[in-house]
Structure 1
Amino acid sequence: MSTAPSHFQSTHAARLSDSGVRLPGWQLGSLALAALIAVPLLLIFSGWLQGENAVWHHLAETVLAELVYNTLVLLAGVTVGVLLLGVGLAWLTSLCEFPGRRFFDWALMLPLAVPAYVLAFVVLGLFDFTGPLQGLLRELFGRGGFWFPEVRSSGGVTLVLVLVLYPYVYMLARSAFLTQGRGTLEAAHSLGLTPRAAFFHVALPMARPAIVVGTSLALMETLADFGTVSVFNYDTFTTAIYKAWFGLFNLQAASQLASLLLLFVALALVAERRLRGRARYHETSRGAPPQRFRLQGWRGGVASSAAGLVFSLAFLLPLIQLLIWAWQVVQQDLDPRYFELLTHTLALGGISALITIIAALLLGCARRFHDNRLTASSARIATLGYALPGSVLAVGIMLTFSSLDNLINAIWRIFDNTPPGQIFGGSLLALLSAYLTRFLAVAHGPIESGLGHIRPSLSDAAHNLGCRALGVVRRVYLPLLRPGLLTALLLVLVDVMKEMPATLLLRPYGWDTLAVRIYEMTSEGEWERAALPAVTLVLAGLLPVILLVRSSSHPHSAQPH
């Protein structure tokens, strides 16, 4: 669908302004959302301004070096792993033909439905020293008659995160390869390049911006991860923040650790921008898609085996094991407690999704009605939360609401000697604020994309018929945005259901969720008891993955030769 020039949009915004609507009100809304993100982040660094730093000195002397080392090792391992799996599998499914390609083309995206902390406890349950595999090997070869790699190690954590996060690189690299067109690779072949040389010298450099974006998403998720590293007892900044808060009961030390984690996030974002440079990712050919090279004989078998191994380890085997464990305890655990957890999870997800969609719609309409530098900057700040780890957000929001509580109590003491105490800190409002901050970017993407496909002439016609800005939103935008709104609702709902660190740190008393239940059971090594809520989250996570699979399908089918 075509879009009008930007000067037409400016004219449209001016006409809405002439109708008497105070367009700065939309700007105030976007500024308020930006402040909701910025204030908690600024307060995180306030921990360094307080005089008492005994706990921090203890942490710096004992665990800080280990936290930095573990984080760097994890980032390096995940980077290498997602690049190898993501780019390699994308090249196989988009540019090669081998047995099972049509199935693996979409099935390799399914691991996105499995939360990393779920795959983590499945891996430990199957492959740890007390697991069935090593038990079988001890029966066959004796206690010292075989060697098995240590599962509870940096390699084990890295492998789990790579298996869960490689689809970010896979999806973007696959789309980049498919949109390069047949003419580009045929030109490379006419110059004498073999398929392998054409991949490394033509296809891969052209797909670099997309690959960098996918890798950066995987690294952001790695920095934000709490459940996986806690299951493996692998200390990183996220686990240290939790221990400082709930183990040492020191929110100041938690904020100092959170500020250091923020520096890692900032460095990752800067690196992503530098690696992309001025490169732009766009479709270079609107003609036929690239021809696929048929892998015959043993090459086709190796390709099928590699794709099948990744799919089995990342999705099929974990799902089967979860179903087996869940069946063993279903009569015991399918009780009122489970349905209470499910109700809390769905309620938090539904409320958060509605709030987040309203905020994203406000942000998108502010850009639509008042497209200037201030509104654009507000939108960038407001959608920054998705790059922030949940534990960092939890610390910032708790500091914000604690400061607000202290201010209210100080004012209250002027009139009464018995202040109300804690009002906002530890409340449901704090948890919902964390969800809004974390997932606003998730809802903003589909809504912003939908707004971009609405011709300004439609809203201009509504203006000529007497509609003000709110009328344009209600009568024009909302009906046309219905698919994007439903997509945003589903994405936020499932993300909130799977979110663990912010929920653990901020949930009010009695508001446990399925993710919290998984954390409690895995902390005690009860893998079977964690299986039923885990299966529920995996099945829920399949819904947005199905949407991604459908949206990433290419309209053409390349023919092998």
Structure 2
Amino acid sequence: MQNLARIRRQCLLLVIAFALVLPVVTVFSAWLPGIGNDADAFAIVREMFATVLPGYLQTTIALGLMVAVGAALVGTVCAAVVTLFDFRGRKTFEWLLLLPLAMPAYVTAYAYTDFLQFSGPLQSGLRASFGLEGRLLPEIRSLGGAVLVFVVALYPYVYLLARTALSERAAHLMEAARLLGAPMGRRIRTVALPMARPAVVAGVALVVMETLADFGVVSYFGIQTFTTGIYKAWLSMENRTAAAQLATMLLVLVLVVLQLELRAQRRMRFVTSGVGRASSAEAQPQKLTGMRSALAWLLCGLPVLLGFVAPVLFMLRPLAADWSVIPFDRFLQWAGNSIRFGAITAVLAVAIALLAAFSARRSRDWFTRALVALISLGYAVPGAVIVVGLLLPVGWVQQWAPQWGFPAWITATAAGIVWAYLVRFTAIALQSLQSGYTRIPNSLDESARMLGTSSLGLLTRVHWPLLRRSAFTAALLVFVDVMKELPATMVLRPFNSDTLAVVAYQLARDERLGEAALPSLALVLVGLVPVVLLIRTIRTGKR
């Protein structure tokens, strides 16, 4: 009976893994002869190689490198300040520095554009006050502006991991170096930073993956990257195969960065070994007063100001000036669509993740581990690649068997967009549930087995009561990510099913930034929920 139940679980996992990996496999199949490619597609790609593709590659790499350096610098400095030094307000800054995680990068881009553009209030006020003419500030819609937006929106990834590394892994060595007479500068250079380097690299890899996957910022700023090139090949040139071939190039870049992140995580685990909490608890941060305390405030306060406070204030300004521009009746419809897609995806993602985590616990064979790994693969795949991977076979089916109903329920119903969400966000739910399973001792499974409990009974009567909190957290994280997701939603949403993210992008693109303020702020408010949960987790872990 147990073998039969295991086989059933593996068969179900195989079907789910196939559905979640299909978009990635489909994208790569665009290069296979006789399946995806055609003469027009190769002609377009050859023309792109000769004209715009080198620019796509150069801009994408330059953007990724500059954002990586900026996020590494800001995140590491903030982590070092709040971990290694003690000053008034330090504990408040520990959680304030996480607030930019609630701001989608494209919302930050809209806010800064509205305030800093040529016709914005800042430049208009300066011209009126000092009698000046022309442009007074650099154009925000540029590569430099995009780097600024990404750095202030994404540095918390580096900050969070670097802060953990400095507080739990380097603190006892810092204390030992202090007792040996090493000054603070040398302790930071030779002890703290080398110990935190794997965590910083892992955080930077996450930042770069988010940057490469972005569509809202680069499209709104008119920056030609691989992501915008994919949509241009699909929508403007109307060649899905060329778009798929461009998507494979972007996916290769993402996989390279993902491999760097995995290597950094392995180094983090190596560094962690042998580091005890008792020893780290003995290390005390150095007290700062006077100008040094003011400098610490500046270093920690500036990222919070640029990444959260200023964008929120910029968005509130047009709302406070004229509430009549806000279509509240339509806002409720947009919010309802976002909530509906988010709730459906969250429930399905948690169900799939629960099955995968339970199967991995019950069956530790290589086949089950491989299926679980495939299910968790999608989070590293950009939304643009998933869209192409889902729509490419739709075009094939329309050519080969137009009488089938397969394409219709992908492009005209919620099924297609929920499928895309599940490909990308099931990994989030799986990680949360696997973390919950680590807190359930295996002795409970053995006791239930000795009492004759079936696999279903073990899951529903033993595991589920202990996993409810983890499942709720997983559902909440998936729900929030679905609410903020833009590339897949723009293409796959059914007719008359605009979401808050799509509407905010469309209104901002049409220069109706005052109307885009309310849906953008709603996304920020939703994004605060997981940040609050993260802050509570950090505070609980300190007690």
Q: Establish whether TM, by shorter chain, passes 0.5.
A: yes
The aligned residue for residue 429 of structure 1 is 415
The answer to whether the Cα contact below 8 Å between 2:202 and 2:260 also exists between their aligned partners in 1 is no
Where does 1:156-305 land on structure 2 (aligned, <5 Å)? 156-180=145-169, 182-274=171-263, 278=267, 280=269, 281-282=271-272, 284-287=275-278, 288=281, 290-305=283-298
Q: Does 1:478 align with 2:470?
A: no
* TM-fit CA distance, 1:72: 0.8
**Is the Cα–Cα contact under 8 Å of residues 417 and 488 in structure 2 kept in the other structure?**
yes
Partner-residue secondary structure (3-state), 2:118:
coil
Secondary structure of 1:454 counterpart: coil
Taking the aligned partners of 2:15 and 2:406, their CA distance within structure 1 comes to 26
CA distance in 1, matches of 2:509, 2:447: 60
Query: Is the 2:352–2:426 contact (alpha carbons within 8 Å) kept by the matching residues of 1?
Result: yes
Cα shift at 1:241? 1.4
Asked if 1:333 is matched to 2:313, the reply is no
| Structure 1 residue 42, shift from structure 2 partner | 1.7
Q: Give the alignment partner of residue 15 of structure 2, picking from 32, 52, 60.
A: 32
Residues in 2 aligned to 1:555 and 1:116: alpha-carbon distance in whole angstroms:
29
Give runs of aligned pairs for residues 313-392 of structure 1, distance below 5 A.
313-392=306-385
* Displacement of 1:404: 5.1
Distance across 2 between alignment mates of 1:65 and 1:450: 46
> 2 CA distance for matches of 1:459 and 1:408?
49
Deviations 1:455-506 (A, max 9, x none): 1221222233332111111111111001100100100000000000010111
Identify the residue that residue 64 of structure 1 maps to in structure 2: 53
Q: Is residue 402–residue 425 contact of structure 1 (8 Å, CA) maintained in 2?
A: no
1:329/1:388 CA distance change after superposition, 3 Å: farther
2:30 corresponds, among 47, 58, 62, to: 47
For the 8 Å contact 1:86–1:173, the answer to whether it is kept is yes
Which of 426, 429, 440 does residue 454 from structure 1 map onto?
440
Distance in 1 of aligned mates of 2:328 and 2:178: 63
Structure 2: give runs of 5+ residues left out of the alignment.
Answer: none
Q: Which moved more, 1:194-203 or 1:270-279?
A: 270-279
Please give the per-residue CA displacement for 1:217-246, whole angstroms capped at 9, x wherever unaligned.
111100111101112111111112122222
Distance 1:146 1:289 in 2: 55
- One-letter code of the match for 1:395? V
CA contact (8 A) 2:74 2:155 kept: yes
Q: Contact (CA 8 Å) 1:326, 1:532: kept in 2 or not?
A: yes
- Give CA deviations for 1:249-308 in whole Å, capped at 9, x if unaligned: 221121111111011112212333455665525271221253111122211111102211
Mapped partners of 2:343, 2:20: distance in 1: 21
Residue 328 of structure 1, CA deviation:
4.1
Name the residue aligned to 1:150: 139
RMSD: 2.1
Structure 1 counterpart of 2:90: 101
In the other structure, the counterpart of 2:429 is 443
4+ residue runs of structure 1 moved beyond 6 angstroms? none
Q: Is contact 1:354-1:489 (8 Å) kept?
A: yes
In structure 2, do the counterparts of structure 1 residues 107 and 380 end up closer, same or farther at CA, with 3 Å as the change threshold?
same
Partner of 1:125: 114
Alpha-carbon deviations, 1:146-178, whole Å to 9, x = none? 853332221110010000100001111111111
What is the rounded CA distance, in whole Å, between the counterparts of 1:320 and 1:165 in structure 2?
A: 19
Note if contact 1:108-1:167 (Cα within 8 Å) is conserved in structure 2: yes
Residues 405, 423 of structure 1: 8 Å contact kept: no
Q: Aligned match of 1:311 in 304, 308, 317?
A: 304
Stretch of structure 1 that moved more, 472-481 or 273-282: 273-282
Mean CA deviation greater in 342-351 or 392-401: 392-401
- Contact 1:157–1:228 (CA under 8 A) maintained in structure 2: yes
Q: Distance in 1 between matches of 2:264 and 2:161?
A: 16
**Residue in structure 1 matched with residue 79 of structure 2 by the alignment:** 90
Does the residue aligned with 1:193 lie in a helix, a strand or coil? coil
Q: Residue in 2 aligned with 1:116?
A: 105
1:452 deviation in Å? 1.5
1:146–1:232 CA distance, 2 compared to 1 (3 A) = closer
Give me the whole-angstrom Cα distance separating, in 2, the residues matched to 1:45 and 1:555. 43
Once the 2 structures are TM-superposed, how far is the Cα of residue 309 of structure 1 from its aligned partner?
1.6
In 1, the alpha carbon distance for the partners of 2:387 and 2:119 equals: 35
Say yes or no: does 1:498 pair with 2:498.
Answer: no
More off after superposition, 288-297 vs 298-307: 288-297
CA change 1:368–1:403 in 2 (3 A) is farther
In structure 2, C-alpha distance between the alignment counterparts of 1:291 and 1:392, rounded to whole Å? 47
Count of equivalent residues: 532
Structure 1 stretches of 5 or more lacking a match? 1-15, 413-418
SS at 1:425 equivalent: helix
> C-alpha separation between the residues in 1 aligned to 2:27 and 2:185?
49
Q: Deviations over 1:351-408 (max 9, x none)?
A: 0000100011111011011112222122222111111110101110112444456565
Question: Is 280-289 or 314-323 further displaced after alignment?
Answer: 280-289
For the residues of structure 1 that align with 2:177 and 2:477, how far apart are their CA atoms? 40
Partner amino acid for 1:425? I
1:32 is matched by which residue type in structure 2?
V
| Pairwise CA distance, 1:324 | 2.6
SS of corresponding position for 2:162: helix
Alignment pair present for 1:399 and 2:389? no
Say if 2:503 is the partner of 1:517.
Answer: yes
Residue pair 1:431, 1:506 contacting (<8 A) in 2 also: yes
**Among candidates 531, 539, 542, match of residue 553 of structure 1:** 539
Select between 385-394 and 274-283 the one with higher mean Cα deviation. 274-283
Work out whether residues 201 and 261 of structure 2, in 8 Å CA contact, stay in contact via their aligned partners in 1.
Answer: yes
Q: Distance between the aligned counterparts of 1:474 and 1:331, measured in 2? A: 51
SS in 2 for 1:177: helix
Distance 1:513 1:67, change over 3 A: same
1:514/1:555 Cα in 2 relative to 1: closer, same or farther (>3 Å)? Answer: closer
* Rounded Cα–Cα distance in structure 2 between residues aligned with 1:120 and 1:289: 43
The offset of 1:140, in angstroms, is: 3.6
